């Protein structure tokens, strides 16, 4: 009887303890959201980064200015430590604005076109040639040199509109941009153009990185807007012999010294264990890089500000890392992981925000054990009231990916994806296209998850 009484008492005590902890967690998360929605700083920081610093492609003066801005901002917040990590980054420049025309008999129609990052320039006079339209590499290889030599290959496979996640659709179409020039060169093409990776029809061409393969001729590669792709495809059906002209003036210069910018709040119990939250500081050169990835940077800084202002003292050291060179090399992410290994730093979790500043939906979790995932899923009841319904297995992020071999659990912040690829890598990725409330909710979401991870693992 006594043993039974002790067992009941113990179970009741555990139950009450769990209920108390959940209530405490619920109140803390509510404080995080109240603070960010009433006194949030991330929107103003984003305005400064986009409007005062502007485009910041790796190796550029803009990127250099962004590092200075970020370090100064982190130092002003009074965090426990702010420092830079040296990293050598690529330096590709676009040069004079590109030109492109569809030449259909006597008709000359200008179309929006941008060079892909890493591409070589055209000859000084540009390229004029007939066009071969294809939708995948298999179709191109089947045509072979007989049909493609001396021509411009036009990849026109759209993102799959049936995919609910536009990121999944983007992934399914991305091989054309990354490797299209290599495949086109193998069949004797003298240039490659690709339909922009966009989920909508518009007149804004989307740039992005491409990489040349070893031993393959280097041919110029560019993207045309989705409306231009539709027009070119329609025109080719009417006149397969039409020609296309484009001229671009880009070049790759020697690598440049740049920096990751890091701020941290020291852990009270296990300061040598780390939880990272971050975004990438660089952006493409066409616009301000607001959604990609100014939002992720300012949200990450806001996470630390929230913890400091609310008196949340993490057991482990929490770092905000603004990575350099995600867009065309991932050198910042690689350097961060290299230094983490070199310094014997134990990184338990790394969270990346690089999917835009839209309404938060949840988190994708990569790595860890089945028990780790189960424990994270127990947070659902606490996060569900804030619209974070999509928590489960998923991708982490490009910059934090190099931490995976160190055993770090990678977590990707998932905002609503439907509008992201209207702005991604385009001239319209500007401050005014970010909603303040959506941005701030994202920062609160990540701060809440970090609070829970730090307390429960």
The DSSP-derived string for 268-293 is SSEEEEEEEEEEE----TTS--IIII
Question: Is residue 290 exposed (0-12), middle (13-18) or buried (19+ Cβ within 10 Å)?
Answer: buried
Asked if residue 247 lies in contact with residue 268, where contact means CB atoms within 8 angstroms, the answer is: no
Beta partners for 102? 109, 244
In the numeric block, which tokens belong to residue 419? Answer: 């509008």
Residue of 326, 327, 422, 440 marked active site: 326
Give the whole-angstrom CA distance, residue 307 versus residue 302: 9
Question: Is residue 305 exposed (0-12), middle (13-18) or buried (19+ Cβ within 10 Å)?
Answer: buried
In the numeric block, which tokens belong to residue 199? Answer: 């989920």
In the numeric block, which tokens belong to residue 231? Answer: 């027009």
Is residue 326 part of the annotated active site? The answer reads yes
Question: Is residue 262 exposed (0-12), middle (13-18) or buried (19+ Cβ within 10 Å)?
Answer: buried
Give the C-alpha distances (Å, rounded to integers) separating 330 from 58, 270, 327, 397, 408.
10, 29, 7, 11, 18
Q: Which helix (H) or strand (E) holds 436?
A: helix 436-456
Give the C-alpha distances (Å, rounded to integers) separating 344 from 57, 171, 203, 396, 450.
31, 34, 49, 22, 22
Tell me the pairing of strands 390-393 and 152-155.
Answer: unpaired
Residue with tokens 């007939």: 130
How far the first Cα of the chain sits from its last, in Å, is 36
Asked if residue 347 lies in contact with residue 403, where contact means CB atoms within 8 angstroms, the answer is: yes
Q: Could you give the dihedral angle defined by the CA atoms of residues 295, 298, 304 and 310, in that order, rounded to the nearest 10 degrees?
A: -90
Longest dimension (CA), the chain: 100
**What residues act catalytically?**
326
């Amino acid at each position: 009887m006594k043993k039974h009484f002790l067992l009941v008492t113990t179970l009741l005590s555990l139950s009450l303890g769990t209920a108390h902890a959940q209530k405490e967690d619920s109140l803390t998360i509510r404080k995080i959201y109240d603070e960010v929605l009433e006194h949030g700083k991330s929107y103003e920081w984003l305005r400064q980064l986009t409007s005062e610093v502007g485009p910041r492609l790796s190796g550029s003066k803009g990127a250099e200015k962004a590092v200075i801005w970020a370090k100064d901002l982190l130092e002003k917040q009074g965090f426990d430590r702010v420092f830079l990590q040296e990293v050598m980054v690529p330096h590709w420049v676009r040069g004079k604005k590109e030109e492109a025309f569809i030449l259909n008999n006597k008709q000359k129609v200008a179309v929006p076109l941008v060079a892909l990052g890493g591409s070589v320039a055209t000859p000084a006079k540009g390229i004029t040639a007939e066009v071969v339209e294809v939708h995948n590499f298999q179709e191109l290889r089947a045509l072979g040199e007989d049909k493609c030599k001396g021509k411009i290959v036009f990849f026109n496979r759209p993102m799959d509109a049936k995919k609910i996640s536009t990121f999944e659709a983007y992934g399914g179409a991305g091989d054309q941009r990354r490797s299209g020039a290599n495949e086109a060169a193998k069949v004797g093409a003298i240039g490659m153009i690709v339909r922009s990776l966009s989920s909508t029809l518009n007149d804004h061409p989307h740039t992005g990185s491409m990489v040349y393969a070893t031993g393959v001729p280097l041919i110029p590669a560019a993207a045309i807007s989705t409306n231009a792709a539709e027009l070119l495809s329609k025109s080719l059906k009417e006149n397969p012999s039409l020609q296309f002209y484009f001229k671009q003036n880009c070049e790759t210069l020697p690598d440049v010294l740049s920096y990751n910018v890091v701020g941290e709040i020291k852990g009270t119990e296990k300061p040598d264990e780390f939880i990272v939250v971050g975004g990438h500081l660089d952006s493409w050169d066409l616009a301000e890089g607001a959604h990609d990835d100014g939002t992720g940077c300012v949200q990450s800084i806001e996470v630390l500000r929230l913890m400091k202002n609310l008196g949340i003292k993490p057991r482990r050291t929490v770092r905000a890392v603004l990575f350099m060179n995600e867009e065309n090399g991932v050198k910042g992410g690689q350097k961060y992981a290299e230094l983490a290994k070199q310094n014997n730093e134990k990184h338990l979790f790394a969270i990346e925000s690089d999917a835009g500043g839209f309404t938060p939906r949840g988190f994708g979790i990569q790595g860890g054990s089945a028990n780790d995932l189960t424990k994270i899923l127990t947070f659902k009841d606490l996060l569900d009231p804030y619209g974070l319904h999509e928590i489960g297995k998923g991708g982490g992020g490009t910059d934090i990916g190099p931490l995976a071999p160190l055993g770090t659990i990678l977590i990707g912040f998932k905002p609503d994806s439907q509008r992201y690829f209207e702005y991604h890598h385009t001239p319209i990725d500007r401050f005014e296209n970010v909603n303040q409330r959506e941005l701030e909710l994202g920062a609160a979401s990540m701060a809440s998850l970090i609070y829970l991870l730090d307390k429960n693992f």
